[in-house]
Amino acid sequence: MKKLEDIPKKTIFEVPDGYFDKLPSAIQARVASKQPVLSPRFSYALRFAVPALVLALVAVIWFRPSTQPKTAEDILAGIQTEALIDYLANSEMRLEEMINASDFSEEDVAAIEGAVYDIQLDDEVLDGLADDYDFELND
């Protein structure tokens, strides 16, 4: 039987001329092509800039001043008187419907009644009105 120890230890493999001179640069070129596109300094800044931006946006949204809803008076104050009169005149709603649709508070009712019943009419004015309308008071 042929013994392994009787066989001279030789390599049968060869390489192209200059192969090992070129191999390091070939490897470096492949390593460089696998590097990330962003420079280390830029990626470092980005790593902190993005979270900071997100936090700033959250703070702006969280702490922004809330806008209180306007009251009816605020809304009406912003509308021209002529526009209001035109609207009321052209509205097909009857007075009773308007009143029923309105949500008057106790203060609103008191203020309206006060405005109505605070009309100061003396007897002379009342007599004049009675003559105009041809009816007698206290019948």
C-alpha to C-alpha distance for 31 and 25, rounded to whole angstroms: 10
Q: Are 77 and 71 in contact (CB under 8 A)?
A: no
Residue-wise burial string across 93-108, b where 16 or more C-beta atoms lie within 10 A, e elsewhere: eeeeeeeeeeeeeeee
7 binds other proteins (CB under 8 A): yes
Number of amino acids touching other proteins (CB under 8 A): 25
- Closer to other proteins by CB, 33 or 80: give it: 33
1 contacts other proteins (rule: CB under 8 A)? yes
Site residues for other proteins, 14-43, by CB under 8 A, read 14-16, 19-20, 23-24, 26-28, 30-31, 34, 40
Distant-in-sequence, close-in-space partners of 84: CB < 8 Å, separation ≥ 6:
76
> Using CB under 8 A as the criterion, which residues of the chain lie in contact with other proteins when the complex forms?
1-4, 7-16, 19-20, 23-24, 26-28, 30-31, 34, 40
